[in-house]
Structure 1
């Protein structure tokens, strides 16, 4: 037997190299979750540098820069927490991919914050407490710092506990608590708090009613018709046109002074935008309808386009409303000093402050949004595109109206109110609608119609009980958030004053 040739390689070296490769793979796997927090820290550092450039010539630069970091952190939390409410339904209905949804939401959030965020920012920064008195006594900066820090702590704690809290409730409660801790109850503008609290109660109910109304319209004129496709081809472009026209009019009202453009001119421009949107949407819907059967599954396909539009509108409304939760206190701190870059007291927030909040929300949703969107998108698949469209459109409309009035409302609770409005309406419509019963009788050619889920009364009661219990969880979180965040803000304020003043 011939001798084997001598091996010129070192097996141990290959094994050691393989071990190093495995170590590198392990490190890459372990550090992957740290990438998003690392990018978030980089954003906060850039925000602080950005703020330092603008306030370098004013007193208490360090405090302002620290407040900017807290505001940026709040904005990241808002973007990470609420993005799924805005686009989760569209992703779950497969109307848009996750990357496209993230980019769309980020752009719309920035536009909403910069174009329409002014009234709510003014309310949070100037109207909840008497900022003039707080500034004169030198307490305003510490008050708003305590509000930002305590609201961020409470939101993080509630997220860890999986409690459905509102960032709006948290920051409003924190400002009130810190204000009372600094100067007593007299510093709080209780009439403003009464208006805000009333809006918190009214807006979810209003959104639910609007969602039910939209769904009633769709069921009446599209779903329960002999030719569903014909109804969809006619009405979906109309809905898209109405949505675009109303939104264009709102933007003109928010951005154009009355002396530059009259109300009738704004209405005419909005009408023109609506007609243009109708003309664009009509051939798209007709093209989508080719080859579709006369079934509800076909309607799900045709409603993807308006669902994406309503999701974009909801993201815009969220940016207009929730940016104040992050930068309202920061705007008050910036206004407390004098500089050529600082807006006068009672005026609009400086643009650089708004941009930090808007970009922070967008960075938060880009970094932490995909996981939440997947979660909500998978859980919300039973909310088909028609119902999801009603929820998104009603929530966006309600939040936009509240934002234009300067009322900081919870976009999350408004969206939940829309979902419950759709759910309660469907329960009523299933039992009481003569149109639906006549349609089903005609289709089945039977006198008695009994759907499978209607045969099991116990199952219906169980589902309703679960829905009511979830509703009570939302109410409990709303009731708890304001006093808890207020108490925490008072404690943080006293601690800050004891340590630094």
Structure 2
């Protein structure tokens, strides 16, 4: 029977858990897919659709059917003294604290670990209830989380660097890289599925208990999956890739993949050598070398110097629009034409619709149709779909940056080596496969960050009893969490992607594949060795290591990585302060009939 006196706490927890899942999609999931979009292996719409489906299916089909009352045993459950009302309030505060911090972090473009967010919120509640002694500060508690800030990036970075250097020196820098990339694809399609299958077994299937399989069955499942994928790649993927990359047949479409061996007989068009059969993965970066000696139009500081009469007598002069027109008439005309038909602003965001003006107040009856039909409805549609229509590559290059910062970022990209475009194409599908598997595992495993506190609140509210250490998760909560993750990614995931990917270093399919594959191997190794890792921190460490494989520290945006690390450090104390202060205020607030303790 429901504990009706505290229905309002359940409603608050339900709303905040939904907001938490929404921000997990916008922050954590967007962080995972930023590499695939940044390398142009997927368009933003393809990534959003794939992530939404896989996250939802992972959460609902194989998501955790049981939620821990105290996540990772970070605090001692005995501090609640078997008081159902106090633990109901505590986990309501956990959902409020976690969702509030995730909202603040996502709004400010801070990629944070959602696991550490909910743990930080639980720490805050534990201190509010039982003081500092209620928290396990040792290696089995908080110390392990702090260590993960260095363990996860370090391990993932080392593995990603090994993968990328093997690809770089064994394939990409060889005499005929595209041919080698095609021939090596079956090997990749054996190794990669083996690692991804292991990742699913040890991390991404809580409800199926696959991690409890005997070693011989686990090995058979892993090697069998790799062998099947390798065989299928030889039959279907290899001829399709060969026709695209070697024969440069630009008429091949994705459905020709199912033609399999028949594609070996397919002849390319007569003008195949004149057209590009694969996407240009370095689009927008071909002229990056120009930033070392920028023209006045590229560098605001150079423009000022060029306008200063040989830099002697013209100090303080500012160039005018008329002067710019005289100096660069063709360029200015092109810019004006571009802006007159523009659909996006300079930051890559879709332009809002043109709203209608009306006379008088918006609440007047004769203005109701204009406000609702021509203003409110277009605004709602624009707000819900703008995230899908954002130009992520433009946003990564310009989002919130000054002209000087934009030029600095281009100089970072200029230090990255450009490999053969057709050879890069061979890694594109592998990167998509890695991202999809990681997303499915993430939906199955990390949806618990949003729904575990809600499950505890629902259990106490519906039974008015103190919860057990492991609570069953109703299917409707899994559906709710999975749906909100998908919606959050589609509506606001662009915000996180704009500050990652190419914002940290230049991305391409070979680099993105190495980053994601290195992070996946890290998850597998950490699960077997009981090391604390976060997928967010793993992909960040892998990105940093691959950028350093260029052979120079100048290919890395160190300010961007410093911002990411600062986000990790802030997560535990900020989430803990929000939930802890709220818990302390509500728990210790005076009520009707409170003894004020006044003595003569």
Taking structure 1 as the reference length, the TM-score comes to 0.72
Segments of structure 1 that go 5 or more residues without pairing to the other structure are 1-54, 428-459
Q: 1:236 aligned to 2:185?
A: yes
- With over 3 angstroms needed to count, the CA separation of the structure-2 counterparts of 1:128 and 1:196, relative to structure 1, is same
Q: 1:418 aligned to 2:568?
A: no
Deviation at 1:380, TM superposition (A): 7.4
Q: 1:196 aligned to 2:148?
A: no
The equivalent of 2:74 in structure 1 is: 128
Give 1:90-105 correspondences, 5 Å limit.
90-105=36-51
Deviation at 1:352, TM superposition (A): 3.4
Q: 1:358 aligned to 2:482?
A: yes
Q: Secondary structure at the match of 2:557?
A: helix
- With over 3 angstroms needed to count, the CA separation of the structure-2 counterparts of 1:195 and 1:349, relative to structure 1, is farther
Q: 1:88 aligned to 2:34?
A: yes
C-alpha separation in 1, matches of 2:186 and 2:464: 49
Q: 1:476 aligned to 2:600?
A: no
C-alpha separation in 2, matches of 1:141 and 1:407: 31
Q: 1:169 aligned to 2:116?
A: yes
Superposed CA offset, 1:149-184 (max 9, x none) = 122222323334444443333222121011101111
C-alpha separation in 1, matches of 2:41 and 2:485: 23
Give 1:142-221 correspondences, 5 Å limit.
142-190=89-137, 191-221=140-170
Q: 1:390 aligned to 2:514?
A: yes
Deviation at 1:107, TM superposition (A): 2.2
Query: Which of 64, 81, 85 in structure 1 is aligned with 2:10?
Result: 64
Query: Which of 420, 423, 426 in structure 2 is aligned with 1:296?
Result: 420
Give 1:453-464 correspondences, 5 Å limit.
463=554
The equivalent of 2:581 in structure 1 is: 491
C-alpha separation in 2, matches of 1:189 and 1:402: 21
C-alpha separation in 2, matches of 1:275 and 1:340: 52
C-alpha separation in 2, matches of 1:376 and 1:249: 27
Q: Secondary structure at the match of 1:136?
A: coil
Superposed CA offset, 1:99-131 (max 9, x none) = 322221112213443566549953853612223
Q: Secondary structure at the match of 1:426?
A: coil
Q: 1:268 aligned to 2:268?
A: no
C-alpha separation in 2, matches of 1:343 and 1:380: 44
- With over 3 angstroms needed to count, the CA separation of the structure-2 counterparts of 1:405 and 1:358, relative to structure 1, is farther
The equivalent of 1:247 in structure 2 is: 196
Aligned residues: 413
The equivalent of 1:23 in structure 2 is: none
C-alpha separation in 2, matches of 1:134 and 1:406: 29
Q: Secondary structure at the match of 1:176?
A: helix
- With over 3 angstroms needed to count, the CA separation of the structure-2 counterparts of 1:210 and 1:299, relative to structure 1, is same
Superposed CA offset, 1:429-461 (max 9, x none) = xxxxxxxxxxxxxxxxxxxxxxxxxxxxxxx66
Counterpart contact for 1:92–1:381, Cα < 8 Å: no
C-alpha separation in 2, matches of 1:333 and 1:126: 18
The structure with higher relative contact order (CA 8 Å, sep 6+) is 2
Counterpart contact for 2:75–2:123, Cα < 8 Å: yes
Deviation at 1:287, TM superposition (A): 2.2
Query: Which of 284, 291, 296 in structure 1 is aligned with 2:237?
Result: 284
Deviation at 1:392, TM superposition (A): 1.5
The equivalent of 1:431 in structure 2 is: none
**Structure 1 ranges of 4+ moved more than 6 A:** 340-343, 403-408
Deviation at 1:74, TM superposition (A): 0.4
Deviation at 1:216, TM superposition (A): 1.8
The equivalent of 2:172 in structure 1 is: 223
C-alpha separation in 1, matches of 2:108 and 2:494: 20
- With over 3 angstroms needed to count, the CA separation of the structure-2 counterparts of 1:373 and 1:198, relative to structure 1, is closer
Deviation at 1:403, TM superposition (A): 6.7
Counterpart contact for 2:119–2:572, Cα < 8 Å: yes
Deviation at 1:258, TM superposition (A): 7.7
Deviation at 1:145, TM superposition (A): 1.6
Counterpart contact for 1:128–1:189, Cα < 8 Å: yes
Deviation at 1:487, TM superposition (A): 2.0
The farther-off stretch of 112-121 and 279-288 is: 112-121
Write 1 or 2 for the structure with the bigger share of helix: 1
C-alpha separation in 2, matches of 1:400 and 1:259: 11
- With over 3 angstroms needed to count, the CA separation of the structure-2 counterparts of 1:394 and 1:261, relative to structure 1, is closer
Taking structure 2 as the reference length, the TM-score comes to 0.61
Q: 1:77 aligned to 2:23?
A: yes
C-alpha separation in 1, matches of 2:177 and 2:578: 55
Segments of structure 2 that go 5 or more residues without pairing to the other structure are 248-418, 592-600
Deviation at 1:412, TM superposition (A): 2.6
- With over 3 angstroms needed to count, the CA separation of the structure-2 counterparts of 1:252 and 1:81, relative to structure 1, is closer
Deviation at 1:252, TM superposition (A): 4.7
- With over 3 angstroms needed to count, the CA separation of the structure-2 counterparts of 1:264 and 1:87, relative to structure 1, is same
Q: Secondary structure at the match of 2:120?
A: helix
The equivalent of 1:453 in structure 2 is: none
C-alpha separation in 2, matches of 1:195 and 1:180: 18
C-alpha separation in 2, matches of 1:273 and 1:500: 62
Counterpart contact for 1:59–1:337, Cα < 8 Å: no
